[in-house]
Structure 1
Amino acid sequence: MTPSRTVVRATTKHATAVLLCAFALAGCSTVKGWFGGGKKDDGKPNEPVELTDITPTANVAKLWSAQAGKGEDRMGVRQGPVIADGRVYAAAIEGGVHAYDLQTGKTVWDYQPMRQQGEDSGKKDKDIRLSGGPGVGEGLVVIGSLEGEVIALDAASGAEKWRAKVGNEVIAAPAIGMGMVFVRSNDGRLSAFDAASGERRWFWTRDVPMLSVRGNDSPVLGPGFVFVGNDDGSVVALSATDGRPMWEQAVAQAEGRTELDRMADIDGTPVLEGSTLYASSFKKQTLAIDGPSGRPMWSSEHGGAGRIGVSADRLVVTDPTGTVFGLDKAGGSAMWQQAGLARRNVTGAAVQGDYAVVGDFDGYVHWLKLDNGEFAARQRVGGKALRAAPVVSDGVLVVQNVEGELTAFKLQ
């Protein structure tokens, strides 16, 4: 099987540039390989590395699996679940929103979007393709769509509370806090809605580069702040009250001779721990930032567009080539690297116990030892690509593949 390649997006007038440059992305060297007809060969440097047998040192048990609906397939939205208050909330492009018990996988509630106007008001709205999220907080579950709808549900029951609209597709999970819902749309706009009524309070816009990695992740909230990772490689801190920019810091410079060279997206949700904000860029840069002031604390030459895994003393990042790095949280130096997943379109990382966890294009979930990066366990889920980073809560890890299948694992 050939991996789904890094997906790029561009304005309409630059669509040709997307086609021309797509073959230059990681793991893509031929038309045959792009369309899935290529054959894996360890002697070919542009093919995904073959997995080698490992002797498991971690005992991983599958707890349950569930089907959220028709998944994203090759759309590149990296749709994944979220865990809160003992529940897993998940959505699919077609299939609605679902709440599951974290430990058992039992369905708590389902929500199917319905038409609100016209003679078909009692039928499922097949035009609403749920893509952004869900996001959870303050008693709400909020989902966005490829058509720009924003739908807020009651987290306890799944009942619809309100709807709003933004001007572009939503493929990032909304963030909820401080009495507001923050929605990032794919045109570079962040919109803030009143959590109780859905009324828009303010918006902030950042220009999107002509060429960027397809994908966004959530803004992250801090006391009085909304932190946003941008497609130009910068992080901006906004006032949660009115959207005023408080500071801006470059994680990576969008430099290079071509638009492809200049891609510097921060597509993984920055991580706020205490007052320190960690952000990572597609240009293989990771930066630790003092959250209140925006002052850089340290920089590392390892990183990627996916989410950062965080442990007590490590950050785990995956770069565009598929190499996984364990970074010293205090200074950013590389403590180890694992190149055994090269060109396998590795997801962002999560931390489960003493292990870093990532998924790949072929449906494999990999557990790596946090202290040295060695492979500790491997499981396959459904044989379809994993694009969203795993999520972990209460010792349970959940992944969602591009067909909308969820699988939960626990360390024994």
Structure 2
Amino acid sequence: MNRKYKITCALTVLTLAMAGCAGKTSKVPEVKPNPLPKLVQASSLVPVFSTSVAATDAADPLRLRLDVDNGVVFAVNPNGEVTAFNGKQKLWQSKVSKAGLSAGVEAGEGILVVGNQKGQLFALDQATGQQLWTAQLTGALLAPSSIQSGRVITVSNDGTVYAHEVATGKQAWTYNLPNVQFSLRGMAAPVVLDPRNVLIASSNAYIYVLDALSGTPKLQRRVAISDGRSDIQKLIDIDGDPVVAGQFVVTTSYQGQVTVLDLASQQVIWSEDASSTQRPEVAGNGVFVAQNDGKLAAFEITTGQPLWVNDQLLNRQLSNPVMLAGQLVVGDLDGVLHLIDPATGNIIGRSKTSGEVRTLRVIDNQLYVSTRKGALSIWQSR
């Protein structure tokens, strides 16, 4: 088997960084982030909860996200700890791994799972933090797992999909994604398609639907193409999680496209050029994409017609966009949370956290934020 080489350059001016990884030594011009635009009567968010954990390396795309189940919030620390909170009250704290942790919490079916860069997957009891089982995988774990139908579904960074039994940790099946010679360091998380099936995105711009119980493949479809000539220019990874919206699956890819696939026909209904390593957001009839150059773009979900483009945040290393209480929210390298009018693309407000925003989630109308500096926080709309 050919070894897969993971490119570990930082995402600051990603194309230039990739050229640096390829061995070029010529000095590249510094690209400065756009200054924050002035706002009049700006909206803002209200902080609900915050805690701090260890910072992470700027070049490593770790997704140490928060998760919540049955009203309990679970936070992962890259130093190897997991903590449970009920409101601001700490319920328990458990040291899980001396080798640290690199994949964010996934909670469900009475357990929570985290992983590390040595390929170790840990399952803890939600109520006590007691370690229930451990599994050794073949590659680093950089993306959260998925829990569904009594299975923990995990994709290691060597492209192997694993399913373990929730109750025992026994390996139920594996599925090997096609080997690629070069790819970005990172992986999209498994996405629940329905109670029986899981959606997997790969480094070769394909998506797969697998039976969560047996691992049997049910769908394989290419959703992006590259016209590059060199190995670096041909990189076309899907690192942002796909989004399932009714009959549609929406994907973004690096140096590729934003694409909408119709599950009923298993055909791509439209695809537009947009380089992004972030999960898109879908709300109403809109598909919202944060591109690697800092542009925000919106497309009509059934036709791909462009709705608007906002270029005020160029080179600000945007996070994934999310919808909160009718407003689009995206984070940046300075910890600024930008509020966007989804109808026009205009910036209508901002709030501030600490450190480069890595991951945004919305659960039960609250915004869950994690940053590279280790600030984990929950916000709500004012």
The alignment's TM-score, normalised by the length of structure 2, stands at: 0.89
Q: How far apart, in 2, do the equivalents of 1:167 and 1:154 lie?
A: 24
CA displacement at 1:335 relative to structure 2:
0.9
Give the equivalent residue in structure 1 for 2:289: 317
Give the equivalent residue in structure 1 for 2:90: 107
The 5 Å alignment of 1:190-205 reads: 190-205=161-176
Q: How far apart, in 2, do the equivalents of 1:309 and 1:193 lie?
A: 29
Over the matched positions of the two proteins, sequence identity in percent amounts to 25
Aligned residue type for 2:147? I
User: In the alignment, which of 182, 194, 199 is matched to residue 211 of structure 1?
Assistant: 182
Deviates further, 189-198 or 47-56: 47-56
Aligned residue type for 2:272? S
Provide the alpha-carbon RMSD of the alignment.
2.7
Q: How far apart, in 2, do the equivalents of 1:111 and 1:75 lie?
A: 24
User: In the alignment, which of 89, 106, 115 is matched to residue 135 of structure 1?
Assistant: 106
Give the equivalent residue in structure 2 for 1:186: 157
Question: How has the CA–CA distance of structure 1 residues 215 and 378 changed in structure 2, closer, same or farther, with 3 Å as cutoff?
Answer: same
The 8 Å contact of residues 300 and 333 in structure 1, kept in 2 or not, is answered as no
Question: SS at the partner of 1:130?
Answer: coil
Question: How has the CA–CA distance of structure 1 residues 154 and 367 changed in structure 2, closer, same or farther, with 3 Å as cutoff?
Answer: same
The 5 Å alignment of 1:276-287 reads: 276-287=248-259
Q: How far apart, in 2, do the equivalents of 1:362 and 1:340 lie?
A: 15
The 5 Å alignment of 1:66-77 reads: 66-77=51-62
CA displacement at 1:287 relative to structure 2:
1.7
Q: How far apart, in 1, do the equivalents of 2:286 and 2:38 lie?
A: 26
Unpaired runs of 5+ in structure 2?
21-26
Q: How many residues align?
A: 373
User: In the alignment, which of 350, 371, 375 is matched to residue 401 of structure 1?
Assistant: 371
Instruction: Provide, for residues 39-67 of structure 1, a one-character-per-residue CA deviation record: whole Å limited to 9, x for no partner.
Output: xxxxx883221222222442422223112
Aligned residue type for 2:163? A
Question: SS at the partner of 1:277?
Answer: strand
Aligned residue type for 1:98? T
The 8 Å contact of residues 358 and 371 in structure 2, kept in 1 or not, is answered as yes
Give the equivalent residue in structure 1 for 2:277: 305
The 5 Å alignment of 1:79-90 reads: 79-90=64-75
Question: SS at the partner of 1:387?
Answer: strand
Question: How has the CA–CA distance of structure 1 residues 298 and 88 changed in structure 2, closer, same or farther, with 3 Å as cutoff?
Answer: farther
Give the equivalent residue in structure 2 for 1:65: 50
Give the equivalent residue in structure 1 for 2:313: 341
CA displacement at 1:161 relative to structure 2:
1.6
User: In the alignment, which of 35, 38, 42 is matched to residue 50 of structure 1?
Assistant: 35
The 8 Å contact of residues 67 and 404 in structure 1, kept in 2 or not, is answered as yes
Aligned residue type for 2:332? D
Q: How far apart, in 2, do the equivalents of 1:183 and 1:175 lie?
A: 7
Unpaired runs of 5+ in structure 1?
1-9, 32-37, 39-43, 114-124
The 8 Å contact of residues 318 and 332 in structure 2, kept in 1 or not, is answered as yes
Instruction: Provide, for residues 158-180 of structure 1, a one-character-per-residue CA deviation record: whole Å limited to 9, x for no partner.
Output: 22221111011101100000110
Give the equivalent residue in structure 2 for 1:25: 14
More strand per residue: 2
